[in-house]
Amino acid sequence: MSEAEVLRAIFSVAFLASVLRVTTPILLPALGGLISELAGVINIALEGIMLTAAFVGVVVSAYTQSPWLGLAAALLASALLALGLAFFHLELKADLILSGLALNLLASGGTVFALYSLTGDKGTSAALASRAMPALNLPFLEGVPILGPILNQHNVMVYIAFLMVGVIGLLLYRTRWGIHVRAVGANPEVAASVGLNVRALRYQALVLSGVLAGLGGVYMSMGYLQLFQRDMIAGRGFIALAAVFMGGRRPLGTMLAALLFGAADALANQLGALQIPPQWVQMIPYTATVSALAIYALSQQRVTTRHRPLMFPRTQTRKR
Amino acid sequence: MTNETMAPQQAEAFRTQTVRRHQIWTVVTRTLTTMAMALGMGFVITALVSPRPLQAYTALLTGPLSSPARIGIWMEDATGLILLGLAFTLVFQARQFSLLAEGQLHLGALVAGIVALHLPLPIGLHLGMALLAAMAAGFLYGLIPGALKAYLGASELVASLMLNVIAQRFYELLLTYWLRPPGAGYNWTDPFPATAILWRPIPDVRINIGLPIALMATALVWLLIYRSSFGYELRVVGANPEFARYVGIPLRRVILLGIAVSGIPAGLAGAYLAMGVHHRLILNISLGLGFEGIVVALLARNNPAFVPLAAFAYSYLRIGGDIMERTAAVGSDLVRLIQAVIILFLTAEALFEQLSHWIARRRHLHVGS
């Protein structure tokens, strides 16, 4: 092998490993978004829940010096926020999209306000000695060429994210609860008429989606980066929603879509070292998302006229 | 008793009037109660983080009126919010959740800046051209999510949020690689020529002629929504898309144009920030201002006639928040918290149901029948 080839191999292995890293904070909220979408209550607040979890994780881990307590507190906060969203929508009849947006604003303003109150800094939590989640060394991958460097030594949250694809898939398609949730999303009136508790199932789906988004948020500030920055989620919660639709509202498809967005993101990071304006590169993931959204919508329009998620909220069928 | 002595038509008119008055009363009470509750929660939070919460809150609530210069800053800020509130009023009218205002604002500022700096035109024409170009930019950019939604059924919410980031990066790109003076170590352009600046009539006070322009825009948007056939179609599509389809309203075209037209005030808001506030293009020209229009539109109940009032009220809090941060070291982001609480409470339909039932009963007793 020539040196150039070796270099290319290393480059691509490092690149594939980085795809897994940047996919994680899209995949986790995307799985959350998937559950909420299948239950018929799309969670627009994924972005804000991730941001809150990222913040709470950093602060609690800094004060307790335990990343695990940070994780637990972050997940608790995520569940509470999602519960709040569910309460406003299901009990107080608030518009789901607007109240989701309000929670995003609440998180964006609230985290900066709390950060400023705690540290006097409005930008980052650099003043806090926060802890990160550990990286995992899988002994059976040690010394394996190519696969080893790609798959080994990632943050524990990366493995959790990909494990969750299978777990959520089983939960949604192989358990009674999953079948009920999907029934409630497909047709709430029919689900209610056969005795399902629509409201309770939607509560549960929203809270679970919040916890998954929270895992993604914790990874952002305690793995991907090791501090909190204001508005550090940078639209990943919404890219995750795009991944749900592009993935055909199925767990495996959602994962593939998240990987695609992750690849665009990783590419942007790689190109960042080149002599082109960084703004061009930073546009890549977002342009990719809009294009993917358009292509997916186009293909859907050809294939079927059945339930259209998030599209015409009150006119989902197109009768001719 | 009153009803029996009147002719049937009169009685009907009287009832309608009473119902309408009652509805307005409910809406006003509800909006004011919401603001009071949100401010109350803000005070509780302030008390938790500040040793002198009363001083901080006094700064928040009275600061903007404490000097003519501050009143000017308040008016200047409210002008931009009026335009952004109008943008959201238009999209929400059709129940579309396109949040593209932030991106349209960046593009509007960008093209206004390009016209201001690179297109020498005589006085009057220069200003008009820059404003027009900004409005056109906002409209054209809105066609993208509009078409994606109307013709492909793609979520306008996700598309608009992605397009916001793209527009912002594009703005930064042109600013840092082309528009700023070559070799400059800072990220802003030269000041605009005097022909491309919104004039400030009072020296040392920042209020400028953008305010009457924004009020004119308010009137135009009101006419568009309530006195034009397009506005009627927009409202029908928002209220009941099935019915709109049934009566033959071109649903897709209305959605496309609704999202695009809302870009006109949003683009204008961008031009206003460049030509009225900063007098040049700067790197972080918006700082998320595009999203603040949401709360203005909600406070105004999507009625453009109330947008200026809502913008002045909300802007008052924003400026008060800045003053509070400087004088009492309580973060101005508290105002964003208050904003979120306002949105949550205003959209929570059932929250006030009990209250309005109670009021309705009382008023019913007073009218007496």
| A41/A100 Cα distance (integer angstroms) | 11
Residues with Cβ within 8 Å of residue B365, at least 6 apart in sequence = none
Pairwise CB contact (< 8 Å): A109 & B340: yes
Distance from CA of B26 to the nearest CA of A (A): 17
Q: Does B176 touch chain A (CB under 8 A)?
A: yes
Q: Identity (one letter) of the amino acid at B296?
A: V
Contact A94, A88 (CB under 8 A): yes
Alpha helical stretches, state H, chain A: 3-38, 46-64, 67-90, 96-119, 147-151, 156-174, 176-186, 188-193, 198-219, 236-246, 251-271, 278-303
| CB-based contact A293:B159 (threshold 8 Å) | yes
pLDDT given at position B365? 63
Q: How close is the nearest chain A Cα to the Cα of B59, in Å? A: 17
Q: Is the pLDDT of residue B140 over 60?
A: yes
CA B160/CA B362 separation, integer angstroms: 45
Q: Is A239 on the interface with B (CB under 8 A)?
A: yes
Helix (H, G, I), strand (E, B) or coil at B50: coil
Query: What is B34-367's CATH number?
Result: 1.10.3470
Half-sphere exposure of B17 (CA within 13 A, CB side): 8
CA distance B319 to B212: 20
Question: Helices marked H in chain B — which ranges?
Answer: 2-5, 8-49, 53-62, 68-93, 101-118, 125-147, 156-174, 210-227, 229-239, 241-246, 251-261, 263-272, 289-299, 307-328, 334-347, 353-367
Residues 308-367 of B with CB under 8 A from A: 330-331, 333-337, 339-341, 343-344, 347-351
In chain A, where the domains are located? 15-234
Residues of B in contact with A310 (CB under 8 A): 155, 157-158
Residues 100-129 of A with CB under 8 A from B: 101-103, 105-106, 108-110, 112-113, 116-117, 122
Residue B188 pairs in a beta bridge with: B282
Residue B340: which of A77, A48, A99, A206 has the closest Cα?
A: A99
Name the residue among A160, A185, A166, A191 with its Cα closest to residue A252: A166
Is A94 in contact with B335 (Cβ distance < 8 A)? no
Interface contact flag, A99 B335, Cβ < 8 Å: no
B183 pLDDT more than 80:
no
Contact status, residue A27 vs residue A161, Cβ threshold 8 Å: yes
- The Cα–Cα gap between B336 and B80 comes to 17
What is the rounded average pLDDT of the residues B254-275? Answer: 94
Please list the pLDDT of chain A residue by residue as tens digits (320 residues). 455 654 565 467 888 888 999 999 999 999 999 999 999 998 999 999 999 999 999 999 999 999 999 999 999 999 999 999 999 999 888 888 888 988 998 999 899 989 988 888 888 888 888 888 888 888 888 878 777 778 878 889 999 999 999 999 999 999 999 999 999 999 889 999 988 999 999 999 999 999 999 999 999 999 999 999 988 998 889 889 888 888 888 999 999 989 988 888 888 777 766 667 777 877 887 888 888 888 888 887 766 544 444 444 433 333 33
pLDDT digits (tens, 9 = 90+) for B310-336: 999 889 988 888 888 888 877 788 888
**Interface contact A315, partner B, CB < 8 A:** yes
From residue A176, alpha-carbon distances to A190, A199, A257 in Å are 17, 16, 27
Question: Which candidate, A34, A31, A73, places its Cα nearest to that of A164?
Answer: A31
**Quick one: which of B157, B247, B238, B113 has its CA closest to A98?**
B157
Domain boundaries, chain B: 34-367
ipTM value of the model?
Answer: 0.80
